[in-house]
């Protein structure tokens, strides 16, 4: 048996898994003496340090027993063919690791897990569905006790459910909810945040409103559309929905209630006919892009057009006209996910969670406001 020195999995974890395979296969039997560090060095071609790490983990998990003066043995109480115990490792698969909201989730998850005695192994799918599956496989190989996954746009996560179940690896979902039965979910209050954004636009005196998005169709987008439409109904607003996209958008959710960023430059003349109007943008990147186009067209932000974004990225505070936006609490989202995973792994609860983390409207100047603040 050899170790893959080019793998992302640390050598000590690969060695630990290799030794567990020897125990499960019967090559190493309960009560047998464990191979010495020198023998393992020669067999696997690695240094003593990862060997000591692997052996220490196996001792901690009860698979090996050290007796002073005698050496290290396979635990005599282990049944033949015992299944490997899960180590105190948690996996986290994100679609990106560097974005503000995502990095907050990682920070909250890792810190809470560490405080509760667990180590986090984080992976990035880079928004690619095949890489997401690869990350899940690697975490299973690393013997994580469980993982939370932030699904990418075209996630194929459902194809790994049987493998996760067979391996007794816990799974939870972050931010995007594909409505999988009996799987815990932690996400932001997208509907409530969108509702607060449109209500704020209305309170600044704008009656014509438009929801500007990209062509993404995940659960968070659908929830923001629903919040937008609920506020439109409650405050008796007029929706601008000029759409002229030749691509097939019939599969997208609420297509007739969305103004697509891909066509904004081409449709700006039509949109200007509804001045003054308010824009609720799917996210801050789209909001900032919209404001730049509006300024090029001679529209005054805060007077001719109001703009509210979503996410509260750093850039939103440093635009020419500071962007009013909806802030998500990524730290709390990550902490909640870690707590749920650990409680499940430690058998403290059997409840299926759907944890919705509140959002907060951050008021700046892009709707003509006179003061800044949070509500």
**325 and 336 both lie in a single domain:** no
Pair of tokens at residue 156: 């194929």
| pTM assigned to the model | 0.75
Rounded to 10°, the helix 100-115/330-345 angle is: 40
C-alpha–C-alpha distance, residues 121 and 113, integer Å: 11
**204 and 183 both lie in a single domain:** no
Please report the pLDDT score of residue 193 as a whole number: 98
174-226 pLDDT, tens per residue? 998 877 878 999 999 999 999 999 999 999 999 999 999 988 889 999 999 99
pLDDT reading at 80 higher than 60: no
Q: What is the CATH number of the domain that holds 35?
A: 1.10.10.10
Pair of tokens at residue 135: 């990350």
**238 and 306 both lie in a single domain:** yes
**70 and 208 both lie in a single domain:** no
C-alpha–C-alpha distance, residues 138 and 201, integer Å: 46
Question: For residue 269, how far is the Cα from the chain centroid?
Answer: 38
Categorize the per-residue pLDDT at 83 as very low, low, confident or very high, splitting at 50, 70 and 90. Answer: very low
Q: Quick check: is 80 in a domain?
A: no
Q: Give me the sheet containing 184-188, strands edge to edge.
A: 119-124, 89-94, 146-149, 170-174, 184-188, 354-357
**66 and 213 both lie in a single domain:** no
Under 8 Å between Cβ of 175 and 188 = yes
285 vs 5: which has the higher pLDDT:
285
Question: Which parts of the chain fold into alpha helices (H)?
Answer: 11-25, 37-44, 48-60, 100-115, 129-141, 161-166, 190-203, 219-234, 264-272, 284-296, 330-345
pLDDT reading at 304 higher than 60: yes
Number of domains forming the structure of the chain: 3
Under 8 Å between Cβ of 25 and 67 = no
Pair of tokens at residue 110: 């890792």
Nearest CA among 182, 172, 170 for reference residue 146: 170
**287 and 341 both lie in a single domain:** no
**27 and 119 both lie in a single domain:** no
1-27 pLDDT, tens per residue? 678 887 767 888 888 888 887 877 778
Q: What is the CATH number of the domain that holds 351?
A: 3.40.50.2300
Half-sphere exposure of 86 (CA within 13 A, CB side): 21
**183 and 310 both lie in a single domain:** no
Mean pLDDT within 23-41: 84
Task: Please enumerate in sequence order all residues whose Cβ is within 8 A of that of 341, keeping only pairs 6 or more positions apart, or say none.
Answer: 90, 113, 145, 146, 147, 148, 170, 172, 184
| Domain range for 286 | 190-329+361-374
């Amino acid at each position: 048996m050899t170790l893959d020195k080019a793998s992302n999995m640390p050598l000590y974890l690969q060695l630990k898994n290799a030794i567990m395979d020897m125990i499960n296969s019967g090559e190493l039997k309960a009560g047998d003496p464990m191979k010495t560090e020198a023998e393992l060095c020669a067999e696997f071609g690695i240094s003593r340090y990862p060997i000591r790490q692997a052996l220490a983990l196996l001792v901690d998990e009860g698979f090996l027993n050290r007796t002073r003066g005698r050496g290290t043995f396979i635990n005599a109480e282990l049944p033949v063919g015992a299944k490997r115990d899960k180590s105190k490792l948690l996996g986290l698969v994100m679609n990106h690791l560097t974005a503000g909201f995502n990095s907050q989730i990682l920070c909250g998850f890792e810190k809470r897990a560490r405080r509760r005695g667990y180590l986090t192994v984080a992976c990035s799918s880079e928004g690619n569905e095949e890489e997401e599956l690869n990350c899940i496989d690697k975490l299973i190989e690393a013997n994580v006790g469980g993982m939370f996954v932030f699904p990418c746009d075209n996630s194929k996560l459902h194809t790994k459910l049987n493998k996760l179940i067979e391996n007794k690896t816990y799974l939870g979902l972050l931010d995007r909810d594909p409505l999988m039965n009996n799987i815990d979910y932690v996400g932001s209050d997208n509907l409530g945040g969108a509702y607060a954004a449109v209500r704020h636009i209305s309170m600044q005196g704008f009656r014509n409103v438009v929801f500007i998005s990209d062509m993404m169709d995940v659960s968070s987008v659908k929830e923001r559309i629903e919040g937008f439409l609920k506020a439109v109904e409650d405050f008796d607003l007029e929706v601008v929905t000029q759409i002229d996209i030749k691509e097939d958008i019939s599969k997208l959710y609420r297509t007739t209630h969305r103004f697509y960023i891909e066509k904004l430059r081409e449709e700006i003349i039509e949109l200007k006919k509804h001045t003054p109007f308010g824009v609720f943008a799917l996210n801050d990147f789209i909001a900032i892009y919209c404001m730049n186009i509006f300024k090029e067209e001679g529209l005054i932000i805060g007077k001719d057009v109001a703009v509210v974004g979503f996410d509260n990225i750093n850039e939103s505070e440093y635009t020419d006209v500071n962007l009013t936006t909806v802030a998500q609490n990524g730290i709390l989202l990550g902490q909640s996910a870690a707590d749920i995973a650990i409680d499940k792994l430690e058998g403290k609860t059997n409840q299926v969670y759907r944890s919705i983390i509140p959002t907060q409207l951050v008021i700046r100047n892009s709707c003509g406001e006179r003061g800044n603040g949070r509500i």
